[in-house]
Amino acid sequence: MAAGLFRLKCWLCALGAILRDLNEIEKNRVAKADRMRARGEQPYPARAQRTHTVADALLALEQALQAGAPVQDSGVPATLCGRLRSMRTMGKLTFAHMEDVSGRVQLLLRSDEVGADRLRQFDTDFDLGDFVQATGVLMRTKTGEFTLRCSAVVMLAKSVSPLPAAKEAEEDGHKVVYSAFANPEARYRERYADLAVNTEVREIFRVRAAVVRALRNFLDERGFLEVETPVLQPIYGGAAARPFVTHHNQLHQDLFLRISFELYLKRLLVGGLESVYEIGRDFRNEGVSLKHNPEFTQLEFYCAYADYAKVMEITEEMLAFVAQQVCGSTTLEYEGHKINLQPPWRRVALRTAVAEACGIDIAAHPTAAALAEAMRASGQAVDPAMPRGKLIESLLALHVEPLLIQPTFVHDFPRDISPLAKATPGDPHTVERFEAYIAGMELCNAFSELNDPQEQAQRFEEMQRDHPKGEEAHPMDEDYLRALQYGMPPCGGFGMGVDRLTMLLTGQRNIREVILFPHLRTRE
Partner RNA sequence: GGGCCGCUAGCUCAAUUGGCAGAGCAGGGGCCUUUUAAGCCCUUGGUUACAGGUUCGAUUCCUGUGCGGCUCACCA
Site for RNA in 154-173 (CB under 7 A): 162, 164-170
Among 34, 145, 220, 461, contact with RNA (rule: CB under 7 A): 145
Query: Would you say 162 or 453 has its CB closer to RNA?
Result: 162
**Cβ atoms within 10 A of the Cβ of 198, count?**
20
Among 196, 207, 240, 332, contact with RNA (rule: CB under 7 A): 240
The DSSP secondary-structure symbol of 291 reads T
Q: How far is the CB of 155 from RNA (least distance, A)?
A: 14
Binding to RNA by residue 39, rule CB under 7 A?
A: no
Cβ pair 475, 236 in contact under 8 A: yes
Q: How far is the CB of 57 from RNA (least distance, A)?
A: 16
The three-state secondary structure class of 347 is: strand
Query: Would you say 202 or 242 has its CB closer to RNA?
Result: 242
Residue 501, CB-side half-sphere exposure with 13 Å CA sphere: 29
Among 62, 307, 462, 471, contact with RNA (rule: CB under 7 A): 471
Q: How far is the CB of 432 from RNA (least distance, A)?
A: 13
Query: Would you say 58 or 214 has its CB closer to RNA?
Result: 58
Cβ pair 341, 314 in contact under 8 A: no
Interface with RNA: number of residues (CB under 7 A): 79
Binding to RNA by residue 420, rule CB under 7 A?
A: yes
Binding to RNA by residue 435, rule CB under 7 A?
A: yes
Query: Would you say 220 or 427 has its CB closer to RNA?
Result: 427
Binding to RNA by residue 425, rule CB under 7 A?
A: no
Q: What is the 3-state secondary structure (H, E, C) of 431-444?
A: EEEEEEEECCEEEE
Query: Would you say 171 or 221 has its CB closer to RNA?
Result: 171
Stretch that binds RNA, among 52-60, 175-183, 201-209, 243-251 (CB under 7 A): 175-183
Stretch that binds RNA, among 3-11, 180-188, 324-332, 361-369 (CB under 7 A): 180-188
Amino acid at 433: R
Q: How far is the CB of 213 from RNA (least distance, A)?
A: 26
Query: Would you say 198 or 326 has its CB closer to RNA?
Result: 198
The three-state secondary structure class of 57 is: helix
Phi/psi at 306 (nearest 5 deg)?
Answer: -105, 155
CA dist 255 and 330 (Å) reads 42
Q: How far is the CB of 501 from RNA (least distance, A)?
A: 16
Please report, as residue ranges, which positions from 85 to 114 form the binding site for RNA (by CB under 7 A): 86-93, 95, 106, 108, 110-112
Binding to RNA by residue 151, rule CB under 7 A?
A: no
Bridge partners (DSSP) listed for residue 89: 94
Query: Would you say 117 or 524 has its CB closer to RNA?
Result: 524
Binding to RNA by residue 141, rule CB under 7 A?
A: yes
Residue among 380, 386, 392, 474 at smallest CA distance from 433: 392
Element at 408 (helix H, strand E): strand 408-414
Residue among 120, 285, 214 at smallest CA distance from 501: 214
Query: Would you say 239 or 326 has its CB closer to RNA?
Result: 239
Burial bucket for residue 101 (CB in 10 Å: 0-12, 13-18, 19+): exposed
Please report, as residue ranges, which positions from 205 to 234 form the binding site for RNA (by CB under 7 A): none
Farthest CA pair distance, the chain:
89
**Cβ atoms within 10 A of the Cβ of 347, count?**
14
Contacts of 6 (CB under 8 A, 6+ apart): none
Query: Would you say 149 or 365 has its CB closer to RNA?
Result: 149
Ramachandran assignment for 487, one of left (phi > 0), alpha (psi -120 to 50 degrees), beta (any other): left
Q: How far is the CB of 123 from RNA (least distance, A)?
A: 7
The three-state secondary structure class of 159 is: coil
**Cβ atoms within 10 A of the Cβ of 341, count?**
24
Among 14, 71, 182, 209, contact with RNA (rule: CB under 7 A): 182
Query: Would you say 78 or 326 has its CB closer to RNA?
Result: 78
Stretch that binds RNA, among 204-212, 270-278, 284-292, 300-308 (CB under 7 A): 284-292
